[in-house]
Structure 1
Amino acid sequence: MKVHWREISSASNSFAALAAACEVHGYHLEATKEPCPDVTCYSLNSITERSYRDEIAGADCITIAGGPHASARYSDVAQYADYVVVGEGEYTLPALLATIEEGRDPPPGVATARGYTPARHTVLLDGYPPFSEVKGFIEITRGCPFGCGYCQTPRLFGRCMRHRSVDEISRYAARFRDIRFVTPNAFAYGSDGVHLRLDRVERLLRSLNGRIYFGTFPGEVRPECVSQQSIDLILDYCANTRLHFGAQSGSDRVLRLLHRGHTVEDVVRAVDLCRENGLVPVVDFILGLPFESDDDQRATLDLVRLVTRAGKAHIHYFMPLPRTPLQNSRPRSLLPETEKVLGRLALGGRITGSWMDHEIRFFRHSPHL
């Protein structure tokens, strides 16, 4: 049975991880630019799903859809895809391929138009290679203890952090000259995500050979985790001159409503520490949040201005994602003064992002899982 993977730029790291997992079970995933027999797999987020829905529905082959959107809206996606892998795919996708080949019913964790039985497992990261023939960034941690209202990560992967072991990370990192990681919070490696274990982070960094990029895309950090001790690890072991973290809002009221778990002061402190230590802060913001008042938006704009004096800001317009607390919320409009300031900062090269067009984020950027 031939198994293909539909190439989608925003899902390149998923391809690397799932191709490696399937290889363990004797299945080779061949990249394709169109659906091909016998089986074609897709990884969809809430933007790319719009572009591939009709293709999947009309494909003259068995189709399997997965990814964040398919996992969150599996009943909808199962109306046009033959099978939907819900949640983590390393175990479920090879198991599904085996049942297709043998003519059996799909395993738990797979939805069809006939129904869905939840998976009864959680993936142990050391149980699967992060990549094989198809190289990808090394995923070192999965899951997040925080419940940010806009984010799918804890809803898809749980709030208990799971870490790949230092030995496994080091073994695969040896295949790269430049080493980059996938993680929801790089400084949380080896910890529960709330109480940091920087000794374990140091052990990881010390085990690696090559140019290490830690705390940068696609493995950012949280602002309250930025301290002199954590920055010293970057300066001592890493090649990056930037540190990437999320502020999301310049309003403490909005941060509380988002359940972010940090304050504006934490963001300002992190920016100052970066500047004092010669690192460029790259800070994420979300504008147009549904409960954002005019004053809240202006406060965010003030924080963007502060950040861009010392570094760069990455701006997104709020997009409600399925299976999050804010999934049914509507974004509010940007103030004219906000659009004016953002335009001026963009022309000066101080900000990037997609505050006017969601699709820029996924079709011109981001190999995120």
Structure 2
Amino acid sequence: MKIILVNPLQENPCMPGPPKLILNEGGVFPPQGLLYLATYLKKFSRHEVKILDCIAEALDYAGVETRLAQEKPDVVGVTLTTLYLGDGYRILQIVKKISKDIITIAGGPHPTLFPKQTIKLPEVDYAVCGEADYILGEMLDRIETKKPLDDMEGVLSKTSPNKEVKQLFIDKLDDLPLVDYTLLPYNKYHSILSTNNPVTVMMTSRGCPFKCAYCPQAGTKIRKRNAKIVADEIEQYIKLGIKDILFFDELFTLEHERVKELCDEFLRRNLKFRFHIRTRIRDVNKDIIKLLKKSGCRLIQFGVESGTARIQKLMNKNLDLDKVRQVIKMTRQEGILTYGNFMLGSPTETKEEMQATIDFAKSSRLDFAVFAITLLLPKTEYYNQAAAQGKIKEDFWEKYILNPLVPIDNAYWPDFTKEFLEEMCKKGYNEFYFRPWYIWNYLTRILSPAQLTTHAKAAFHVLKSFSLSKLTGK
């Protein structure tokens, strides 16, 4: 059988967000989940598999329809995310428009969170809850021989839509084969924060044990890959001419011994590449930062989120803000770029507290900052608080996921208007990026002429989107 795995467009978010031009300038990244699935099928099954990355290929919906019609697949698997469910759903509609005989499989974060709602979508034949690497081959075998899938763990079908499903987990990540990166258009992936393109992303671990109030995937088991296998994958990328890697682990430095294992292996093999990581403020010290720098780390992304102690506590983060400043300073001193994530609009947060977060981002001397509006994401503590307090009149997520072509009007904390939060977000970007110290710092720490061009384009789109008159006051 022939299966096409589709990474959908991101044209239609669940509610209006940053303009597409700004998102595109930020970067285009490979769909690692689909890559693992395709690699496993290619190695261990007799089925033909291809990946269609609609974002990297810059396809519109007409282009997607043309490509899928040309490929004539027997099965199409589509990654669904809740925030862009409308785009995934449109792909499913296109598939069934081409031929009702094409079997559709929905996988990814959304069916994992909402398996029973996903299988109710008319265009979905099967929904998978969790990591499908080990079962997708068997699913295709059964589909080909017209054998029922009702007894398969983690799989819902039209004939068993209400069955209780347990999320599929791969405990031993080292059992997965090294990804076959040639299954993707690997020269088309890029990041605004990288020194050179193309880039790739990879994970040395999966999961996060912490329970932040705004996160729908809080409290998941940490699973780690062997340092030698991680280095093997990096060597593969270097051979393809890719020397910038973004590690998408939630907590790269959670265990210091593991960081040492990874970095020592990178150094032992003399791997010449640059990398970025994401981690917590609590999990770094001077020795770890020095080792990361020596191994090729060029940027660390910190989840700071708030510049006030009260909101830190509300988020279940409880960061010491003085410690945050110290770690940022220490990281900069070692020559590693710093990137801070911030959220505006937590429950009961005041305008003054939001401004305090903006001021904290400025005073901490970060190299980059992102200000996001806090969404009441499904099945989070924040969302449950809003429901318990009667702040929301209906379960807007349940309504949206059953009709994803109609966006949500407002998924923010109901005490705030959407317009107010958007203005505060714009204010954050304006005050952080358009100040003399930042412009001077940026120009003196710029890493390459190519970056200067890319960042200038992104800045233009920010100005255009946020309205030049609002930012300059003219």
> What TM-score comes out, normalization by structure 1 length?
0.82
- Establish whether residue 52 from structure 1 lines up as the match of residue 88 from structure 2: yes
Residue 186 of structure 1 contacts residue 221 of structure 1 at CA under 8 Å; is this kept in 2? yes
Return the alpha-carbon distance in structure 2 between the equivalents of residues 224 and 56 of structure 1.
43
State the 1:86 CA deviation: 0.9
Q: Deviations 1:247-294 (Å, cap 9, x if unpaired)?
A: 011122222222225332332122111222222211111112234223
Other-structure match for 2:157: 112
Corresponding position of 1:363:
none
Residue number in structure 2 paired with 1:71: 112
Distance 1:310 1:30, change over 3 A: closer
What secondary structure sits across from 2:382 in the alignment? Answer: coil
SS at match of 2:279: coil
Q: Which structure 2 residues correspond to residues 287-298 of structure 1 after superposition, within 5 A?
A: 287-298=344-355
Contact 1:11 1:43 in 2 (8 A): no
Query: What secondary structure is seen at the aligned counterpart in 2 of 1:151?
Result: coil
Q: Secondary structure at the match of 2:236?
A: coil
Match of 1:300 in 2: 357
Choose the corresponding residue for 1:134, options 160, 183, 187. 183
State the TM-score, normalized to the length of structure 2: 0.65
Amino acid at match of 2:317: R
Question: Where does residue 364 of structure 1 map in the other structure?
Answer: none
Q: Which has the larger radius of gyration?
A: 2
1:70 maps to amino acid: P
Q: How far apart are 1:28 and its partner, in Å?
A: 3.4
> Does 2:372 match 1:316?
yes
Distance 1:162 1:222, change over 3 A: same
Count of aligned pairs between the two proteins: 342
- Give matches, 1:214-253, under 5 Å: 214=275, 216=276, 219-238=277-296, 240-253=297-310
**Does the CA contact (< 8 Å) of 2:299 and 2:339 recur in 1?**
yes
2:77 match: 41
Shift of 1:42: 0.8
- Cα 1:289–1:187 change in 2 (3 A) is same
| 1:20 equivalent in alignment to 2:39 | yes
Distance in 2, matches of 1:77 and 1:13, equals 22
Is the CA contact (8 Å cut-off) linking 1:69 and 1:322 kept in structure 2? no
Counterpart amino acid of 1:285? F
Summarize deviations over 1:104-145 as a string: whole Å, max 9, x none: 232111123423332565342111124113366332101111
The 10-residue stretch of structure 1 (277-286 or 129-138) with the greater mean CA deviation from structure 2 = 129-138
* Paired residue secondary structure (1:316): strand
Query: Structure 1: where are the runs of 5+ without partners?
Result: 361-369
Alignment partners' CA distance in 2, 1:84 and 1:337:
39
- Report the secondary structure of 1:323's partner residue: coil
Look up the match of 1:153: 217
What's 1:367 paired with? none
Q: Is the 8 A contact 1:298 1:338 kept in 2?
A: no
Contact 1:187 1:201 in 2 (8 A): no
Higher helix share: 2
Alignment of 1:134-283 (within 5 A): 134=183, 137-154=201-218, 158=220, 160-177=221-238, 178=243, 180=245, 181-188=247-254, 191=255, 197-214=258-275, 216=276, 219-238=277-296, 240-260=297-317, 262-283=319-340
Q: What 5-or-longer segments of structure 2 have no aligned partner?
A: 10-28, 53-63, 185-199, 387-411, 443-454, 466-474
Shift of 1:207: 4.3
Shift in CA distance, 213/105, structure 1 to aligned 2, threshold 3 Å: farther
| Cα 1:87/1:198, change in 2 over 3 Å | same
Partners of 2:424 and 2:278 in 1: CA distance: 29
Instruction: Output one character per residue of 1:210-241: Cα deviation in whole Å (capped at 9) or x when no partner.
Output: 33334x2xx41111122101111122111x43
- 3-state SS of paired residue (1:185): coil
C-alpha distance in 1, partners of 2:206/2:371?
A: 24
Cα gap change, 1:205 to 1:6, in 2 (>3 Å) = same
Q: CA deviation at 1:38?
A: 1.0
- Distance of 1:186 and 1:318 partners within structure 2: 24
Aligned equivalents of 1:15 and 1:259: distance in 2? 32
Q: How many angstroms apart in 2 are the aligned matches of 1:174 and 1:197?
A: 19
* C-alpha distance in 1 between matches for 2:363 and 2:41: 47
Identity of aligned residues (%): 22
Tell me: CA distance 1:277–1:55, structure 2 relative to 1, closer, same or farther (3 Å): closer
Post-superposition Cα deviations, 1:323-367, rounded to whole Å, max 9, x if no partner, equal 3333455333438566434334345687999xxx9xx9xxxxxxx
CA distance in 1, matches of 2:267, 2:294: 10
**Distance (whole Å) between structure 2 residues aligned to residue 82 and residue 131 of structure 1:** 27
Taking the aligned partners of 2:264 and 2:430, their CA distance within structure 1 comes to: 43
